[in-house]
Structure 1
Amino acid sequence: MDQSNHTRLDELAHFLKTRRARISPEQAGLPNRGRRRTPGLRRSEVAQLSGVSVDWYTWLEQARNIQVSAQVLENIARALQLDPNERKHLFLLALQQLPADLAPIEDTVSPPLQRFLDLQGTSPAYVTDARLNVVAWNRSASLIYGNYELMSTRERNTVWRTFTSPYVRQVLQENWESHARHRLAHFRASYGKFIGDPWWMEIIEDLTRVSPEFRAWWPKHDVLNGPEGKKINHHPKAGLLVFDQISFLATDAAHLTVTINIPSNEDTISKLEKLLSD
């Protein structure tokens, strides 16, 4: 275990001890069985209230590198009667992420970022949030991938659209499966930060119900982050379009990903220019 991880776990252990020390058995709804050598709850009592073993909770307070789930952290937060800021701090120390209900989901972009998208011209460009919803785009992206203005929030989710839209299958043709598997692996990697969140549970349930491919591939637990590289599209009007894809995080909103599909050849540029001029 590297030094930074050790320091984080040590901070977590001290934080738990201080929160435990400030709560009396009466405050926690437990009987007070006489004089105590130290103030607050015993480790065994926190373990009991949290639904974990005494040994497991002891290891947590000993800064051991053990597996911790979001659900157990929620139980500990309730047992220790943490306020919202303390609960957030607990999750950051234990999992290095916010609780699912506090993780920012951005549905707008800053004016400079939108101008940046618009300035990409013949390069279809869009922004996705932590749920892989498209939250901003330029005109080229709408012309190639569909009119986002007319789509519902669910339809603008790139995973939902990949697995349910006949138009996406038409545009991708023989490349649909590789694209869908990559998109699903990215979705699975993102889901790891929000396990148990109602929004994620609902869309996973709905995709499992409506898409046989999603139903077959989701249990495989493939995870992947990063761009897809070369993109080959078959546009119903412009024909064959070839792009190189790059993605990066927005500096003014770290939970937003900017994706740009750059035309790979002059023929693609010419076709995009004609679409944009129509």
Structure 2
Amino acid sequence: MPAGSETRLGTYLRDRRAKLDPAALGFAGRRRTPGLRREEVAQRANISATWYTWLEQGRGGAPSADVLNRIATGLMLTEPEREHIFMLALGRPPEVRYRPAAGITPRLQRLLDTLETSPALVKTATWDVVAWNPAAAVVLTDWATVPPGERNILRRMFGDPRVRAAQHDWESVARVVVGAFRADAARAGAVSEVGALVDELCRTSPDFAALWRENDVHAHGDGVKRLRHPVLGWIELEYSAFAVDGRPDLGLIVYNPVAETIRDRIRTLLQDRGPPGSPPGPFQTAPSS
């Protein structure tokens, strides 16, 4: 346990314990102080009451990750709070526990929509697209027209010839995509979850199989994407990738047109597209992911 962290960990645990409602958790009896008793937290965490008491008192050495996870459950800690006790006790965050994405918050969708002429999307660790903005629909792919089970960047990159034709240098793009996908899955703790997708792509795409065997890992932080759009022609987009705080399974990618003239033409495409739900126009016939 890092020097001095024993007292900080004990203080934090006592504070969280005092904020829990005993009656709501099934504990009765009169109390002189608010919150749960130490033995009640130990009971909920399925650990020794003596060991838990020592932790609050800064005794007994560093707890294991398993004990910290049990305490986090017993104290009903949020994910940021669980990470905090790991940092206090072990000096590192907990191992990532992958959670399949169930969508995004309305607040994050509103953020995407404010990027009027900058295509933006949110993808999972398995590179399923779960959210996008109107600019992404007219410049990249209108994911609303794609069945939910097929909204995967890798499946389209290696399975749709139109996507391949739209890339300036498909081989280089594909290499980076596979390497970044491998890194994303590991970072999100989703290595086992991507197995079925990898097996499928290896069976259906010799190109993917060859790249996957190379075991390369690439960062997907920023760069320039060159696309052949059916209406705009060849365009350059600077892209930046961002983590979604508290959601290691999600990543946000924002594309900014390099030329201001392209930004103006994207605005025109959006106006021609009409309100959400309108039939797709001709500019949506060649998705570029």
TM range (shorter): 0.5 to 0.7
- State the TM-score, normalized to the length of structure 1: 0.62
Residue 128 of structure 1, aligned match among 123, 127, 143: 123
CA–CA distance in structure 2, aligned partners of residues 255 and 214 of structure 1: 22
Deviations 1:86-143 (A, max 9, x none): 9xx9xx98994245xxx11223111111111111011101111222211110011111
Correspondence for 2:261: 267
Q: Is the 8 A contact 2:185 2:191 kept in 1?
A: no
The reply to whether residue 160 of structure 1 matches residue 155 of structure 2 is: yes
Residue 201 of structure 1, aligned match among 189, 195, 200: 195
CA–CA distance in structure 2, aligned partners of residues 263 and 166 of structure 1: 24
Correspondence for 1:97: 95
After superposition, the Cα gap between the structure-2 partners of 1:96 and 1:253, relative to the gap in structure 1 and judged at 3 Å, is closer
The reply to whether residue 191 of structure 1 matches residue 185 of structure 2 is: yes
CA–CA distance in structure 2, aligned partners of residues 156 and 239 of structure 1: 24
After superposition, the Cα gap between the structure-2 partners of 1:191 and 1:252, relative to the gap in structure 1 and judged at 3 Å, is closer
After superposition, the Cα gap between the structure-2 partners of 1:196 and 1:105, relative to the gap in structure 1 and judged at 3 Å, is closer
Count of residue pairs the alignment pairs up: 205
1:170 Cα offset (Å):
2.3
CA–CA distance in structure 1, aligned partners of residues 218 and 190 of structure 2: 17
Residue 212 of structure 1, aligned match among 175, 181, 206: 206
CA–CA distance in structure 2, aligned partners of residues 121 and 143 of structure 1: 11
Deviations 1:62-107 (A, max 9, x none): x9xxxxxxxxxxxxx9xxxx9xx69xx9xx98994245xxx11223
CA–CA distance in structure 2, aligned partners of residues 136 and 165 of structure 1: 20
CA–CA distance in structure 2, aligned partners of residues 134 and 155 of structure 1: 9
CA–CA distance in structure 1, aligned partners of residues 196 and 165 of structure 2: 27
CA–CA distance in structure 2, aligned partners of residues 192 and 256 of structure 1: 13
Q: Is the 8 A contact 1:145 1:168 kept in 2?
A: no
Query: What do you get for the CA RMSD once the two structures are aligned?
Result: 3.7
Q: Which has the higher contact order (CA 8 A, sep 6+)?
A: 2
After superposition, the Cα gap between the structure-2 partners of 1:215 and 1:117, relative to the gap in structure 1 and judged at 3 Å, is same
CA–CA distance in structure 1, aligned partners of residues 251 and 153 of structure 2: 13
CA–CA distance in structure 2, aligned partners of residues 211 and 126 of structure 1: 25
After superposition, the Cα gap between the structure-2 partners of 1:119 and 1:252, relative to the gap in structure 1 and judged at 3 Å, is farther
Correspondence for 1:66: none
Correspondence for 1:119: 114
Q: Which amino acid is 1:147 matched to?
A: D
Q: Which amino acid is 2:231 matched to?
A: K
Q: Is the 8 A contact 1:240 1:268 kept in 2?
A: no
1:191 Cα offset (Å):
3.1
The reply to whether residue 221 of structure 1 matches residue 219 of structure 2 is: no
SS in structure 2 of the partner of residue 229 of structure 1: strand
Q: Which amino acid is 2:176 matched to?
A: H
Q: Any unmatched runs of 5+ in structure 2?
A: 6-46, 49-61, 75-81, 273-289
SS in structure 2 of the partner of residue 192 of structure 1: helix
The reply to whether residue 246 of structure 1 matches residue 240 of structure 2 is: yes
Identical amino acids, percent of aligned pairs: 30
